[in-house]
Structure 1
Amino acid sequence: MDKRSVVLSQVIGGSLNTIADEMSATVTRTARSPVFNEAHDFTTAIFEMNGLKSRLVAQSPGCTLHLYAVAMAVDRAIDAFKHDLQPGDVLLASDPYNGGTHIPDLVVVTPVFRDRKPVLFPAVRAHMGDVGGPVAGGYNPHARDVWQDGLVMPPVKIVERGERRTEMLDLLVANNRIAHWIEGDLASMIGACEMAGRRIEALLDRYGLDTVRDAIQANVDYSERRVRAEIASWPDGEYVGETFVDHDYQGQRDVRVVCKATVKGSDLTLDFTGSDPQTKGFINSPIANTLSFIFIALTTCCDEDIPINEGCMAPVTCIIPEGTVINPTRPAPVGTCTCSAGAEVTEAVLLALGRCAPERVGVNAHKMPLAFSYGSYDDGRMWVFLNFIGFTGGAGAAYETDGWGLYPPLMTGVILPSIEMTEIQYPSRVLKHEYVADMTGAGRWRGAPGLETVTQHLVPSLSSVMMEGVRHTAKGFAGGEHGAPNRVFLVESAAADAIDVPEYAFMHALPPGGMLRTVRGGGGGWGPAIERDPDAVREDVLDGYVTRDGALADYGVVLDAALELDRAATERERARRVAA
């Protein structure tokens, strides 16, 4: 490829990514739901029609776990309307067994035509605050089938040739408890796709379809070469990693997810044979969701400057047996799949790759307890509080990097909602949101500290809690310690005893002033804790992440009463531990 072509491919690739960024900004600035305009729980991307399948060619940083799953949803939507797809159409889908993840994640996609053929597809996948079904918010631990998760939407047209199909939009709104939000949220998703369609048409007008396709292919090929070079640097062999989901909310415990990674040259095969069968409870991960979590695992092991597109997955072959907890058959419930068992897919892959590329793994921690509430405003309208502030925490360490931030990479792009805006939009108060000392996974590089959050609802509310990461906590890598367990408490009043939730609570009534107290365990460490720089341990103590006693217990670092480092005593203590 000559220099001009190289530059042009970067310009066009950058233009497509910029369009995806503008889609993201459009949704953020026009949506009504705090899930969108505050927490940013959505992803925007652009796909190319390549033969009979779509492929990811551009994306904006969003909720990472959505990203690769959108490709299968776009394929299913295209397939459903392949003989009736027109300019100005906008498609919507939310079927876990037809390219979806869990039902709250709606996909909106529109085709961009050139020479009377659809060539590019801007798409938005977003988590809706409610999706009908028997339980507000779409998380139903009592679900026995997918229909009890929420309203299943196969691919449908919600805009046809530029005209809104009001009957379809009315159907969605009528089956939603927070219609005053969903109307605006859907409009923001449709508007983002339509805006992107105009930008893409202008790009095609400027450069021509053939040039744009060549640029896309060049960028996809470049990403593939870079990922293959990464895989080729790992020693050939077979490497196994396994992890467990605590339970499925209906009696099954320690649900196994196992991955055998086979490295052969620049090819990588990930075989999940041996993972447990699908469960009665709603932790099952549909195939699109599982592939998305595999995509996350692989891309976090590669250089961050590699463009994120279809080329990243080209070197990977996935074997995921049907009927397992990570490739269930209809109608198994899947409501919490984006938390578990999806996150365990990423974890199992990283644990396997950690045996051949330890300096490339880490930072994954998604053992996320879900604690959400709902009630009514004074005017009778419902509110659903998904408690993104309480989900924060749990980012693990990686080579040369302590765990940082409030969300692990699985949630990259999700933003900590403004506490002030949360208190305006909900009848709630956030009384506490702070790190907890001695809840990091110790290591040569430590995980992010645990977090305690106390949220009070000022009106009567119903709260459900779904616990994960209690027995099987966030994993450490390369000899690092695991993170601390999660805990969630329901507190009915300041004078009442806190109710410790062991596995789950379902629609627990809280009076006005009732509180949710969430203690999110910290992320796992990387490398043996005894190898951590003593000065870094002292800094953690000064920052309040680790106590003086914790420095001694976890790291063998001795600090005096003034928190000054006693180097001689530290060397003796560490030598004693090594000898022991």
Structure 2
Amino acid sequence: MDAITLEILRNQLESIAEEMGQVLITGAYSPNIKERRDCSTALFDSAGRMVAQAEHIPVHLGAMPEAVETVRERDPHPGDVYVLNDPFAGGTHLPDITMVSPLTVREEIVGYAVSRAHHADVGGSTPGSMPAGAREIYEEGLRLPAVRLVSEGETNDDVMDLLLANVRNAGERRADLRAQLAANDRAEERLGDLFAEHGEGVVREGFDAVIDYSRERIESEIRDLPDGTYEATDVMEGDGISEEDIPIEAAVTIEGESIGVDFSGTAAQVPGNVNAPLAVAKSAVYFVVRCVTDPEIPPNHGCYAPVSVRAPEGSLLNPRSPAAVVGGNVETSQRVTDTVFLALAKAAPERVPAQGQGTMNNLTVGGRSGEFAYYETIGGGFGARAGKDGMDGVQVGMTNTLNTPIESLETEYPLRVEEYSLRANSGGRGRYRGGLGLVRSVRVEENATVSLLTERRRYGPRGVAGGEDGTPGENLIAGKAVPAKTTRDVPAGTLITVRTPGGGGHGDPAERDSTLAERDRENGVVE
């Protein structure tokens, strides 16, 4: 395929995935999707290879191929739509509900549209479906294998009724599910337009061409990295049941045009909910490889082809059912990212920043009777880079969501935000300082259940090249410090405060430019 046609088709395919995301976001009812944009969309070919994705949530996107493969094994037909969330069969964690739709042209399946969205509640033992002390997946919500929600164009009301009967705030769930259906429908419409514009043969050839293009570019980037095996270790700060450190060990082998990551030294699966399905570990590795090569390479199956990931069955990163996993998707994925970055820093130190906050700071507040369920991940410090300070108060690593605007939060929920500010002195000092964490204080105006799933409360994000570590985070309920992972029933009037970690610094603090240091003081970065 000539370069001009390839570039036109690549952009058109990516625009389909982006438009799917816009349909989902504008059609959703929950602030978690319409405001925070905790969702992802992608387009696959008929062989189950990702050909285009919207730049949404890294932990969603790298795991999507597992969902498509699960559906392909079910012998889908034109007009079907499958829904699933089972982490042991194509999902990530239960709140992330995935829809997979075969895309057809003249009654032949030519591809798949996929949308994945984090629903604010999917049942389980606590509002918001993210209980800190869960010991098995059954406590975390309704578990859906790949089932037909739509069969040959007709909605299966029995499946929809069963799903909605097991979640809190069923009206909001129904609306968000319909937004996902609309997103997948838009993909079929736009792909049909593409076939009509270019012809079936050209579009099918384009699927292969965009994948080959990305594979060739990523292989070229990997060739520039020095061959060898690079190892690193980091830890999770407990699993919600025990406070003991849980090691994650990565051995990254670069050989020619390929990268293999082996997690054989990682801990066995744990009783708590920080176990992460292998698809989640793969997502984290894919993300890191893209970061240390060229993030501008079009993201599709070609980016993943030269990368292999191994984790022993029964380990923290490849647990056996019915392990609890809701924290693995949001927190363990972050630590996998940190660990693989640490390893690759030995191969390409100039391409790897100091550690960012390394947590999503998951805060869930909900009413026991199901009248509301608020969920949010809270930003923190980005690690300093070789030539720049870290960014302040941003999402880091495996999440790419926005915050919930205060106006929306206070309108939708019985909550009041009393502080939302940058956290002074939280970024690690260095020639370039780490980004600042945030302070988010929310007062609950009704009796509620609060769940916190967080990390980096014991060990701050590491600085590099002589830079200092970032400040660890802190969680408080009613003014008292609580563990990193906790679920509590609280009365109306309770104040919840989350202080997020700052990023690590880069370089010797004594070498910081005096102008930058003065600007820090003027801006209240340091006190």
TM-score norm. by structure 2 comes to 0.96
- 1:537 equivalenced with 2:517 (yes/no): yes
Question: Following TM superposition, by how much is the alpha carbon of 1:68 offset from its aligned partner in structure 2, in angstroms?
Answer: 1.0
Question: Following TM superposition, by how much is the alpha carbon of 1:129 offset from its aligned partner in structure 2, in angstroms?
Answer: 0.5
Alpha-carbon distance in structure 1 between the residues aligned to 2:454 and 2:489: 14
- Aligned to 2:211, what secondary structure does the other structure show? helix
Match of 1:111 among 102, 117, 122: 102
| C-alpha contact (below 8 Å) 2:392/2:437 kept by paired residues | no
Alpha-carbon distance in structure 2 between the residues aligned to 1:437 and 1:45: 39
Question: Following TM superposition, by how much is the alpha carbon of 1:470 offset from its aligned partner in structure 2, in angstroms?
Answer: 1.4
Question: Following TM superposition, by how much is the alpha carbon of 1:58 offset from its aligned partner in structure 2, in angstroms?
Answer: 0.8
- 1:199 equivalenced with 2:190 (yes/no): yes
Match of 2:6 among 3, 6, 9: 9
- Runs of 4 or more, structure 1, over 6 Å off, are none
Hey, what does 1:577 align to over in structure 2? none
Hey, what does 1:420 align to over in structure 2? 407
Alpha-carbon distance in structure 2 between the residues aligned to 1:402 and 1:66: 28
> Is the alpha carbon distance of 1:401 and 1:213 closer, same or farther for their aligned partners in structure 2, counting shifts above 3 Å?
farther
- 1:475 equivalenced with 2:466 (yes/no): no
Hey, what does 1:486 align to over in structure 2? 473
Hey, what does 1:132 align to over in structure 2? 123
Question: Following TM superposition, by how much is the alpha carbon of 1:155 offset from its aligned partner in structure 2, in angstroms?
Answer: 0.1
Question: Could you say which structure has the larger radius of gyration?
Answer: 1
1:196-229, Cα deviation, whole Å (9 max, x unpaired)? 1111111112212321122222222222222222
- 1:283 equivalenced with 2:263 (yes/no): no
Give runs of aligned pairs for residues 9-408 of structure 1, distance below 5 A.
9-50=6-47, 54-79=48-73, 81-82=74-75, 85-114=76-105, 116-251=107-242, 253-362=244-353, 364-375=356-367, 382-388=371-377, 391-408=378-395
- 1:461 equivalenced with 2:448 (yes/no): yes
Give the counterpart letter for 1:422 in structure 2. L
Alpha-carbon distance in structure 2 between the residues aligned to 1:219 and 1:461: 49
- Aligned to 1:340, what secondary structure does the other structure show? helix
| C-alpha contact (below 8 Å) 1:446/1:524 kept by paired residues | yes
1:384-435, Cα deviation, whole Å (9 max, x unpaired)? 11144xx121322233232225333435541122111111111111111111
1:466-520, Cα deviation, whole Å (9 max, x unpaired)? 34211233233444332211101111xxxxxx11103443233122x22111111
Hey, what does 2:494 align to over in structure 1? 514
Give the counterpart letter for 2:366 in structure 1. Y
1:438-467, Cα deviation, whole Å (9 max, x unpaired)? 100223332210211111122222212334
Deviates more, 1:528-537 or 1:277-286: 528-537
Hey, what does 1:555 align to over in structure 2? none
Alpha-carbon distance in structure 1 between the residues aligned to 2:119 and 2:456: 25
User: Once the two structures are aligned, what percentage of the paired residues are identical?
Assistant: 33
Hey, what does 1:526 align to over in structure 2? 506
Deviates more, 1:454-463 or 1:38-47: 454-463
- Aligned to 2:40, what secondary structure does the other structure show? strand
Give the counterpart letter for 2:361 in structure 1. P
| C-alpha contact (below 8 Å) 1:490/1:517 kept by paired residues | yes
Deviates more, 1:428-437 or 1:208-217: 208-217
Over the aligned positions, Cα root-mean-square deviation in angstroms equals 1.8
Deviates more, 1:338-347 or 1:127-136: 338-347
| C-alpha contact (below 8 Å) 1:244/1:472 kept by paired residues | no
Match of 1:436 among 400, 405, 423: 423
> Is the alpha carbon distance of 1:49 and 1:483 closer, same or farther for their aligned partners in structure 2, counting shifts above 3 Å?
farther
Hey, what does 1:561 align to over in structure 2? none
Give runs of aligned pairs for residues 529-568 of structure 1, distance below 5 A.
529-547=509-527
Aligned length, in residue pairs: 526
Alpha-carbon distance in structure 2 between the residues aligned to 1:328 and 1:477: 32
Alpha-carbon distance in structure 2 between the residues aligned to 1:504 and 1:427: 23
Alpha-carbon distance in structure 1 between the residues aligned to 2:162 and 2:101: 20
Hey, what does 1:578 align to over in structure 2? none
Alpha-carbon distance in structure 1 between the residues aligned to 2:50 and 2:464: 30
| C-alpha contact (below 8 Å) 1:354/1:478 kept by paired residues | no
| C-alpha contact (below 8 Å) 1:72/1:99 kept by paired residues | yes
Alpha-carbon distance in structure 2 between the residues aligned to 1:278 and 1:205: 50
Question: Following TM superposition, by how much is the alpha carbon of 1:364 offset from its aligned partner in structure 2, in angstroms?
Answer: 4.5
Hey, what does 2:432 align to over in structure 1? 445
- Unaligned runs of 5+ residues in structure 2 are none
Hey, what does 1:557 align to over in structure 2? none
Alpha-carbon distance in structure 1 between the residues aligned to 2:128 and 2:370: 15
Question: Following TM superposition, by how much is the alpha carbon of 1:126 offset from its aligned partner in structure 2, in angstroms?
Answer: 0.7
| C-alpha contact (below 8 Å) 2:41/2:115 kept by paired residues | yes
